[in-house]
Structure 1
Amino acid sequence: MENRYFESIKEEISLLGFGCMRLPRICEEKQEIDEKRALEMFDYAHEHGVNYFDTAYPYHEGLSEPFVGKALKRYPRESFHLASKMPPWMLKSESDVERIFEDQLKRCQVDYFDFYLVHNICREHLEIVEKFHVYEFLKKKKEEGKIRRLGFSFHDKPALLRQVTDRYEWDFAQIQLNYLDWELQDAKTQYEILKSHQIPVVVMEPVRGGSLAGLSEPAAEVLKKENPELSTASWAVRFAASLPGVMTVLSGMSDLAQVQDNVKTMTDFKPLTQREREVLTEALDIYRSSGTIPCTGCRYCMDCPAGVDIPKVFAIYNQYRIDHNENSFRSTYGYLEEEKQAQHCVRCGKCMEHCPQHIQIPDKMEEIRDFAAGGN
């Protein structure tokens, strides 16, 4: 396993990080984790040198942290680095900050976090962070040894990122970075801002919630033609991992095959060549022409007050945009419970307050509703 070392971090960090937001589930409709399969994945990753595990308070509707704690408890404490996050949108008072933090330590069965983040900093959340003195609290916990390194995850515009990096002192930062968002969502600019501050980068969504592993057939064919031995996902992971200043690349893996593929990619790691970058650009141009909705399936938009399963609706529609199989769309969409379908969207806008991708969700629901009803 390739490791990265930064003087400011003073630890060897595996280039592949295990993201614990998309662990295997017992059934698709619920967030309950299939522990047997997930433990097998953890063991394979740990045995092959993965030492960075990333969870958060709301992942799997609160079930991720307890599972991660249970899984990691089986390994020597010095053999892994655990990261979790403080969710600003769940804070109603200053006392909630300490309550949640202490609860996280108990959930994860640890005395300290190796890496700890302010979760999903955006303008609205930054106001909450400042109102309840979150940064000051976390700095104190760092002084007490309950946090080893303090950082933040970010889903907003470069101007706010500059403000956050200028105003506060950080050990690392986590941003959404992949070859689609490099230009589409200013990932390149965000990366350059962090690099200019010499802040190590943790990459999230390198495969964009799996969408860059499921490219349209013409786009995937371009990559396969260049190298039949490589998975489409590995191209995306290598794009992120090839960048100087990247400490680890998180992959939200949901089955053992994904772990094995990522471990293979990060063992004897080979950065993208200039030729491969050109091939990737060609595949990207083809993929972008498919018109998919840029949903990563993070589920921050859920639960919908009207009962719509937003990520599921988008996933079904995106598959149609990729393969253009209308019969398959209607069959799959028909299996989704009627009360969870797009036509029940009431345009309340609550989902948009939490969407890291800034998708105009009500407009897209209307588009899908009309298509499902027979439009085009």
Structure 2
Amino acid sequence: MDFKPTKKLGFGMMRMPLIDKTNDADVDVEQVSKMVDMFLERGFTYFDTAWMYNGFNSENVVKKALVERHSRESFTLATKLHAGFINTKEDRDKIFNEQLQKTGAGYFDYYLIHGIEAGMIRKYEDLDCFGWLLDKKKEGMVRHAGFSFHDTPELLDEILTNHPEMEFVQLQINYLDWESEWVQSRACYEVAVKHGKPVIVMEPVKGGTLANLPEDAKKLFKDCDPEMSIPSWAVRFAASLENVMVVLSGMSSLEQMDNNTSYMKEFKPLSDDEKDMCFKAAEIINNQIAIPCTACSYCTEGCPMKIAIPKYFSLYNENMREDMAKKGWTINFTNYGNLVNSGFGKASDCIACGQCEGVCPQHLPIIENLKKVAAHFEN
């Protein structure tokens, strides 16, 4: 297959449908299999997974729902090596070999050094992960080498200057983060363009934030085209960027798969006026969002108190959009209690160890935000 897929939508196997909603590893493989079938039947080929997704179960699901059910030539598969799980050069091969076993893929079409940021780049360099990845490519175990990135455009420019052998870069790009001082989607995208590197987009819907908009932002899109779903505007915004080769969507239902593939089969880029409308929606959202969490769940795997951080932040954000002075109570208070009763630690159980903040791609002050959540839901 060519380096760049013919269609711009990729299946991010990170937020897959669950049987037990409180257990990220309890994936509904039967539904995922139907989603995989629809994706392939409609001409899409790019699948994205990683070592730790869905409680370290995503790569296993890839094997069951995709690899064992479809010919290897009918799809392309991407996975990743994360600094949080390697401490020696031997660890690189140990994880890679386990990924081959878990997926059953035989080789990886795209392999990424995962989530590079200032706190991780030294480890990747010390363990020669870039050189190691090129060796895997020479061996035929990897077809294309790249990396995903969560930091400043200056660091991205430095990495691409030092490692021109990297073929592509995966960036967080969406219309809400386009001018964000933290994410800097636009500036990072422009660095990739300067270096001539194709971009894979992650978080185009920002973990669902751009699927559940305030009513006045939603109205902008519905007045423009009532037939298009709200999240479609976010996916199409990212796909409209010229240097973007794939936009990943972490789809969690057959309905989401049906919707995304329906408008991306024959993709039509947004007009300048439509892009401006996205930026107007971003202004509205930014005035109302409390905690800009993307629900990637990197923070939860090592939490010693088993706090459902992204779930609590989502409930908190929903309540902050409500007029709490008038309502006083919402169903989210019950939802919070149900999560605690199902075995998760309360927000107030946080011991401020900092593990979560060390791995957060958004660089959020999670400890302080958990205090806000505790004050809101527990008092």
Same fold, TM-score > 0.5, yes or no: yes
User: Offset of 1:373 from its aligned partner?
Assistant: 4.3
Question: Which piece of structure 1 moves more, 292-301 or 124-133?
Answer: 124-133
Contact 2:7 2:265 in 1 (8 A): no
Q: Give the alignment's TM-score, normalised by structure 1.
A: 0.94
* 5+ long unaligned stretches in structure 1: none
Question: Which piece of structure 1 moves more, 234-243 or 156-165?
Answer: 156-165
1:356 and 2:352 are equivalent in the alignment? no
Contact 2:5 2:245 in 1 (8 A): no
Contact 2:179 2:186 in 1 (8 A): yes
User: Offset of 1:276 from its aligned partner?
Assistant: 1.2
**CA deviations over 1:252-284 (Å, ceiling 9, x no partner):** 000011111111121221111122122222222
Aligned partner of 1:16 in structure 2 is 9
Question: Which piece of structure 1 moves more, 284-293 or 48-57?
Answer: 284-293
User: Offset of 1:29 from its aligned partner?
Assistant: 1.1
Q: C-alpha distance in 1, partners of 2:314/2:177?
A: 18
Aligned partner of 1:308 in structure 2 is 307
Matched residue type, 1:117: L
Aligned partner of 2:329 in structure 1 is 327
Poorly superposed stretches of 4+, deviation over 6 Å: none
Contact 2:10 2:246 in 1 (8 A): yes
Q: 2:121 aligns with which of 126, 139, 145?
A: 126
Say which SS state the counterpart of residue 248 (structure 1) adopts: strand
Say which SS state the counterpart of residue 247 (structure 1) adopts: strand
Aligned partner of 1:336 in structure 2 is 339
Aligned partner of 1:182 in structure 2 is 178
Matched residue type, 1:71: A
Aligned partner of 1:84 in structure 2 is 79
The 5 Å alignment of 1:26-45 reads 26-30=19-23, 31-45=25-39
Contact 1:216 1:323 in 2 (8 A): no
Q: C-alpha distance in 2, partners of 1:315/1:10?
A: 37
Q: C-alpha distance in 2, partners of 1:297/1:123?
A: 21
User: Offset of 1:309 from its aligned partner?
Assistant: 1.2
* Distance verdict in 2 for CA 1:82–1:179, change over 3 Å: same
1:219 and 2:217 are equivalent in the alignment? yes
Contact 2:62 2:103 in 1 (8 A): yes
1:107 and 2:102 are equivalent in the alignment? yes
Say which SS state the counterpart of residue 118 (structure 1) adopts: strand
What is the aligned-residue RMSD (CA, Å)? Answer: 1.5
User: Offset of 1:331 from its aligned partner?
Assistant: 2.6
Aligned partner of 2:43 in structure 1 is 49
The 5 Å alignment of 1:114-153 reads 114-153=109-148
User: Offset of 1:10 from its aligned partner?
Assistant: 4.2
Q: C-alpha distance in 2, partners of 1:278/1:130?
A: 40
Matched residue type, 1:337: V
The 5 Å alignment of 1:260-271 reads 260-271=258-269
Aligned partner of 1:170 in structure 2 is 166
Matched residue type, 2:261: V
Q: C-alpha distance in 1, partners of 2:98/2:294?
A: 28
Contact 2:237 2:269 in 1 (8 A): yes
Aligned partner of 1:255 in structure 2 is 253
* 5+ long unaligned stretches in structure 2: none
Contact 1:177 1:205 in 2 (8 A): yes
User: Offset of 1:335 from its aligned partner?
Assistant: 2.2
Matched residue type, 1:97: R
Q: C-alpha distance in 1, partners of 2:3/2:82?
A: 27
User: Offset of 1:316 from its aligned partner?
Assistant: 0.7
User: Offset of 1:358 from its aligned partner?
Assistant: 0.6
Aligned partner of 1:159 in structure 2 is 154
Contact 2:46 2:75 in 1 (8 A): yes
Contact 1:52 1:80 in 2 (8 A): yes
User: Offset of 1:111 from its aligned partner?
Assistant: 1.9
Number of residues of Structure 1 aligned to a counterpart in Structure 2: 367
Say which SS state the counterpart of residue 340 (structure 1) adopts: coil
Q: Give the alignment's TM-score, normalised by structure 2.
A: 0.93
Q: 1:286 aligns with which of 269, 279, 284?
A: 284
Contact 1:309 1:340 in 2 (8 A): yes
